[in-house]
């Protein structure tokens, strides 16, 4: 999801409504590359895409989830698979 898509989605809600929200950005992924070394923006975007589309409300979005998907993306790239 892009920031523009999020803003459009939120237009349907009362702007004074109290909410809780997780916001993860490309820089978060790139800064937590763990043992993978430097990662590309495209890889970071794929990690965020998976976090958004495969999220589990009982687990939430956290560093462990980010690292799980980062490991997946990097492993797939090593094997020559296209994410």
Q: Is 72 left (phi over 0), alpha (psi -120 to 50) or beta?
A: alpha
Decide: 74 and 59 in contact? Cβ < 8 Å: no
Decide: 34 and 74 in contact? Cβ < 8 Å: no
What token pair was written down for 43? 């890889």
Neighbouring C-beta atoms of residue 44, cutoff 10 Å: 23
pLDDT tens per residue, range 2-41: 999 999 999 999 999 999 888 999 999 998 866 677 889 9
Give this prediction's pTM.
0.82
């Amino acid at each position: 999801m892009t920031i523009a898509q999020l803003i459009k989605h939120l237009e349907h809600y009362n702007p004074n409504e109290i909410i809780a929200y997780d916001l993860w950005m490309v820089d978060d992924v790139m800064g937590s590359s763990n043992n993978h070394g430097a990662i590309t923006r495209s890889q970071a975007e794929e990690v965020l895409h998976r976090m958004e589309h495969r999220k589990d409300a009982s687990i939430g979005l956290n560093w462990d989830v980010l690292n799980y998907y980062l490991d997946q993306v990097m492993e797939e790239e090593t094997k020559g698979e296209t994410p």
